[in-house]
Amino acid sequence: MVHALEPVDSRRPVTTPRPEQDPETPARAQAPSGPDMLLWLHRGLTLAAVMGLIVNTRGFWNAHVLSRPWLALVITVAYLVMLVAAVAALSAPRHRELGRVDIGVLITAIVIKIVAAWNGIAGLKKLTVDEGMLMDAAARGLAKGRNPYTSEWPKIDPGLPTQLMDGRTVFDFGYPPLGVEIGAVVQRIFPSLVGIVLVAWLAMLATVLIVFFAAPKPLRPIATLGVLGLGTFTAYADNAYPSVIALPFLCLALWGWSRIGREGKLGWFGLVRAAALGAACSIHQLGWFLALFLVVGLVVLRLPELGLGRTFNLMLRYGGTALSVFFVSSLPFLIKSPHAWLTGVFEPLLQHAVPHGQGLVGITHYVIGGSGALDLYGWATQLLLLALLVAFAFHLRTIGPAIAVLPWMIFMVSTRSQDGYWLLTMPLWLVALVTTTRADFAEAYRIPLPKADKARAAVTAALFLPAAACFVIAAATPQPLDFKVGTPIAAGQSIESLTVEVTNSSGDPVTPFFSVATGPTISEFWKVSAGPKTLAAGETATYTLLPDAKTFKIPPVEPAILRAVSDSPQTLSSIRLTD
């Protein structure tokens, strides 16, 4: 049947007919746009924070369900809260409701971590790393009136402390004092608890609160997820790493740092951040590297507005405040034992520790097995730091927000390049993300460089060539010692001694210290019962090596590697005993 055309009503909207859809094909979801997109992303971050809380939570429940079931019940309630929070996150119609969910998720995360912290704080779980053991011993000693810089603790597990290239083992305290000063006060107040572990956990919880409230509301869930939800920092807090104690102060120092000193006024905003930087530098040496970048960045930022003289005066006030906090915290030790204090504070930077870590030194340590020029890794680290500082000044308008990452890149080429140096600074990445923008650096002083992009890139790349050259030479220099093992070795076998013929094929005398490594770290050194202390260039000698225990068992599966290190020059030589 043919119908007559109806007249068009101008008041009715004209719609375009849609093509018919196959009923078997589901409709494709359309991503929202504009304000709806922001709400959608906020929901996603809130859900991610809830999901992150699941990590390791069952382990905390398992740890308490039989001995302290009431704590396990707290975890059960937390699971329920997480489920309710997930429903609320998916259903919330506005940012206001999502903001309340975010606060609830943060509180739940804090409760879960308090339950997780119980065993460590109560002393029911032992410290398992030398950093925490030394921090605990120093805090307890200080609480009893002992000077941590004139004390040693050789009774801690000899397989854990840092070994040095000269055959010594680090059993002393090698950090600035503020962390153990706080720990000693807490230890005096709560003598039945492990004070330094409590301080570390409080510092971690303070860090998440700082990041959470520094962030705009839609971004607040990343604080819960990044600091508490992924479980990254739980073991570090349990083991009282000094860098964890420094974290909240580092976060405060970095919070909105690009606004410090505007119009030449330091004000309370700048004073608080300078004092926080001083406190962070008084707890762990990582703060020293961030301080260098903050000073360079603030000078380049303030120069166009203030000129050279006023910028210099501003930096005197900023740096003077930070240094005052640093020296006030160290004043008792600086007066009583200045040499011991100075040696302890700078020890990690000067001690020549054996190679270890996930950085590029692994090429020498784990792939090639040795190098006759490990000193050049140290030079590469210093040159890379200088190159990064200059590049940061040259390109502040572009890479200003990356200040939270750049200082730690130097550890990629250092002999001690553990990933903890990067992991423990990740909350700073979040602070930089939520408190600075590219626009904050738009008016920074532009250091004259060639206008052509290729020329500017070439100048920047040239800054890194000295560090790259040092690294290449260090990695390419062959190990100085060659080995011929005289003792028959078999997987799973126990040996009482190891006889090895050693030839110094380098042009320098080498004083070797030997260790049989069965993991990624060089642990205890073996005693030399026969063989010369120093092997001259070109000399061959036979060494008899004895383990600390009566016998040493070669692992049945993992490889065993004989490693020899020397301090002057710094070298590493290796041979596999088993595959």
Higher-pLDDT residue of 232, 444: 444
Coil, helix or strand at residue 552: strand
Q: Please state the pTM of the whole predicted model.
A: 0.90
Question: Is the predicted pLDDT of residue 388 greater than 50, yes or no?
Answer: yes
Work out the mean pLDDT of the chain and round it to a whole number: 90
In contact, 241 and 285? CB cutoff 8 Å: no
Give the helix/strand (H/E) hosting 562: strand 560-567
Give the percent of the chain with pLDDT over 70. Answer: 94
| 18, pLDDT greater than 70 | no
pLDDT for position 2: 42
Specify the pLDDT at position 74.
93
- The mean pLDDT value for 159-175 works out to 87
Q: Which of 203, 247, 239, 237 is nearest to 131 (CA)?
A: 239
28 pLDDT above the threshold of 70: no
Flag whether pLDDT at 8 surpasses 60. no
- pLDDT confidence band for 433 (50 / 70 / 90): very high
Across residues 59-83, what is the average pLDDT?
Answer: 91
Give the span between the Cα atoms of 131 and 327, in whole angstroms: 23
pLDDT for residue 419: 85
- What share of the chain in percent tops pLDDT 90? 76
Per-residue confidence (pLDDT) for residue 485, from 0 to 100: 94
Per-residue pLDDT band at 59 (split at 50, 70, 90): confident
Nearest CA to 256 among 436, 439, 442, 440? Answer: 436
Three-state DSSP at 305 gives helix
Q: Which residues does residue 575 pair with via DSSP β-bridges, in sequence order?
A: 562
Q: Is the pLDDT of residue 456 over 50?
A: yes
Angle value at C-alpha 258, between 257 and 259, nearest 5 degrees: 90
| Cβ neighbourhood burial of 189 (10 Å; 0-12, 13-18, 19+) | exposed
Confidence of residue 44 (pLDDT cuts 50, 70, 90): very high
* Crossing angle for the helix pair 57-64 and 69-91, to the nearest 10 degrees: 150
Residues, the chain, total?
579
- For residue 17, how many other CB atoms are within 10 A of its CB? 5
Q: Which helix (H) or strand (E) holds 474?
A: helix 465-476
**Secondary structure (H, E, C), 323-369:** HHHHHHHHHHHHHHCHHHHHHHHHHHHHCCECCEECCCHHHHHHHHC
Mean pLDDT, residues 335-363: 92
DSSP string, 413-456: SSSEE-THHHHTTHHHHHHHHHH--GGGGTTS------SSHHHH
Cβ-based burial of 208 (10 A; exposed 0-12, middle 13-18, buried ≥19): buried
Domains and CATH numbers, the chain: 355-477 (no CATH), 481-576 (2.60.40)
User: Shortest CA distance to 408 belongs to which of 434, 430, 383, 384?
Assistant: 384
Query: Comparing 25 with 77, which gets the higher pLDDT?
Result: 77
